[in-house]
Amino acid sequence: MRVLLTSVGSRGDIQPLAALAHRLREGGAEVRVCAPPDEEFADLLAGVGVTLTPMGPTVRSVVAGDRPPTAEDAFRFARELVAARFDVLGAAARGCDVLVATGLMPAGARDVAERFGIRYVYAGFHTYGLPSRHTVPGARPGKPSPDDETDNRRLWEQDAQRVNALYREALNTHRLAIGLSPVENVRDHVFGDRPWLAADPVLCPWRPGVTDLDLVQTGAWILPDARPLPDELEAFLDAGEPPVHVGFGSMAAYTPADIAEVAIGAVRAHGRRVVLSRGWAGLLPTDDAGDCIVVGEVNQQALFRRVAAVVHHGGAGTTTTTALAGAAQVVVPHIADQPYWGARVAELGIGAAHDMSAPTVESLAAALEIALRPGTAARAATVAGSIRTDGAAVAAGLL
C-alpha cells in the first residue's frame, strides 16, 4: 500500500505525520509526505525513514517574522497553498492508494485524490473549526460576523463564507483546469463525510451529539522519542528541585518581546529554577544567573517528566506531551485552538490557563501558583495514566 500524507503548519502539525508514517512503515506500507520545506521538518521525517517532498514556503518564513501575518497575507498564502497542493500533491499522488490531509485547511488535497480516484481522509488534531450546534466558530481572516449575531447556525454559515472567500476561487480554478466540477462549500468539502479526530479522548473528548459531523476519533498520533537529554541539561536537572520549563514553540510573531523576562520573573517568584526553550522566537535570559538554562530542540517527552510544570502556548502537541508526562501546565494562548487547550487543562485540574492578554510577572506567577499546588501535581499524574499512546497505530490500522 502507498500512502500520501500532507500537512501545512508548525512542528505540532508535522510531528504527528511522522508518528503515523512510522507506524505505516512498520506495517509494510510505502509512505510519502508533502509538507513545508523547513529543515527541522525534513530532519524529523528522516528520523522515521521518510524523505520530505517540499510543498510551499517554509512555515518559519510565514509566522516567525516581526509581526503576525495580516489578513492580506492570509489571503495570498491561501491562494499559494491551493496552487502548491495541486502541483506537488498532484505529482506525489500518482500510484498512491490513499491521501491523508491534516493541518491548515488543506483545500486542494481532496481534489487531487478525486482526480486520481484514490481514498481521501481529513484528520484534525483538535475540534477547532469543526461545525457544531454546541460551539461557535473561531476567528478567521475575512468579514467578521455581526456582534449581535447569536444564532449558532448562522454563525457557522458565516464561517463557511469566510473559508470560501479564502479558498474557493483558487480551488475551483484549479479544479476546472483538471476537468472537475466547482465546489460550493469549501470547508465542508475539505472535511468530508467522516473526518478523523487525531486527539486524545481525555484531553479532547468527542461524544455523539456534541458535533454534527460523524467523527472517527483515533487518539493522538504520538511519535516515541528515545533521544537522551544533553549532558548539560541532565546536570542542571540533577542539581536541585524540579524546575519549570518555559517555551512557546513557533509562536515567534505572537510572543511579547519581554516574555522571557516576565516568565523567568514569575518562576523565580515561586523559588523555582527555569528551563527556557529558545523556540522560533529565540528566547534568551536577561541575566547570567545560574538558576536558568537555555535549551534548543530536545526530547520533551523525557524532559517534561523531570520538571515541576510546563509553561507553553497551548498547541495540541505540547499539551498532549505535557499531559502524558504527568507534569502540571500553564497555557498562555495566542491563536486558533490554543484557548481551547487552556480551558481544557483548567477543566481537568491539571494546570491553569492564562487569559489572552500579554502576561505580566504577577499574572503568570498567579497561574503558576495553581499549577505548582500539590493537588494539581497529583491530578496531573492521575490523568497521565489515562492518556492513550496508540493513536498512530489505530490510524495506521484503519488505513
List the chain pLDDT tens, one digit each, 399 residues.
Answer: 999 999 999 999 999 999 999 999 999 999 999 999 999 999 999 999 999 999 999 988 877 666 778 888 889 999 999 999 999 999 999 999 999 999 989 999 999 999 999 999 999 999 888 888 778 888 888 999 998 998 988 999 999 999 999 999 999 999 999 999 999 999 999 999 899 999 999 999 976 554 567 889 999 999 999 999 999 999 999 999 999 999 998 877 678 889 999 999 999 999 999 999 999 888 999 899 999 999 999 999 999 999 999 999 999 999 999 999 999 999 999 888 999 999 999 999 999 999 988 999 999 999 999 999 999 999 999 999 999 999 999 999 999
Say whether both 113 and 179 belong to one domain: yes
Are residues 33 and 182 both part of a single domain? Answer: yes
CA–CA separation, 176 and 182 (whole Å): 7
| Same domain, residue pair 190 and 249 | no
143 occurs within a structural domain = yes
Per DSSP, the three-state class of 81 is helix
Q: Which domain-ending residue is among 141, 170, 194? A: 194
Last residue of a domain, one of 194, 223, 248: 194
Is 10 within a domain?
yes
Helix segments in the chain, DSSP class H: 11-26, 39-46, 59-63, 71-84, 90-92, 109-116, 152-177, 186-191, 231-238, 259-268, 300-303, 316-325, 338-348, 361-371, 374-384, 391-398
Cα gap 46→247, rounded to integer Å: 25
State whether 270 and 378 are in the same domain: yes
The CA distance from 349 to 365, in Å, is: 17
The answer to whether the CB of 22 falls within 8 A of the CB of 389 is: no
pLDDT value of residue 271: 97
Look at the alpha carbons of 140, 198, 356, 260 in this order and tell me if their dihedral is positive or negative: negative
Q: Are residues 175 and 28 in the same domain?
A: yes
Is residue 189 included in any domain, yes or no?
A: yes
Burial 36-73 (b: 16+ CB within 10 A, else e): bbbeebbebbeebebebbebbbebbebbbeeeeeeeee
Q: Rounded to whole angstroms, what are the CA distances from 103 to 211, 343, 395? A: 20, 21, 16
Domain end, chosen from 194, 212, 241, is at 194
Query: Do 34 and 141 reside in the same domain of the chain?
Result: yes
> What is the C-alpha separation between 289 and 287, in angstroms, rounded?
6
The reply to whether 268 and 372 lie within a common domain is yes
- Could you tell me which of 167, 117, 103 has the C-alpha nearest to residue 141? 167
Overall domain count for the chain: 2
Give a yes or no: residue 178 inside a domain: yes
Interstrand relation of 309-312 and 328-331 (parallel, antiparallel or unpaired): parallel
Contact 219, 198 (CB under 8 A): yes
Q: Let me know if residue 398 belongs to a domain.
A: no
Q: What pLDDT is recorded for position 251?
A: 77
Q: 253 with 179, same domain?
A: no
- The position carrying cell 480554478 is 173
Residue 153, C-alpha cell as written in the block: 447556525
Residue 210 falls inside a structural domain: no
Which residue is listed with cell 499574572? 363
DSSP string, 191-203: H-SS-EE-S-TTT
Q: Is residue 339 part of a domain?
A: yes
392 domain-assigned: no
Residue 372: give the domain boundaries. Answer: 231-384
Specify whether the CB–CB gap between 204 and 374 falls below 8 A.
no
Radius of gyration of the chain measured on its C-alpha atoms: 21
Question: Helix-strand-coil percent breakdown of the chain, rounded to 5?
Answer: 40, 15, 45
Tell me: do 308 and 358 sit in the same domain. yes
Q: Could you tell me the three cell numbers for 46?
A: 528522516
Instruction: For residues 235 and 369, state if they share a domain.
Output: yes
Q: How far apart are CA 186 and CA 165, in angstroms?
A: 9
CATH code of the domain covering residue 321 = 3.40.50.2000
pLDDT of the residue at 135: 81
One domain, residues 188 and 322: no
According to the model, what pLDDT value does residue 306 have? Answer: 98
- Residue 352's H or E segment, with its range, is strand 351-353
| 189 and 283 fall within a common domain | no
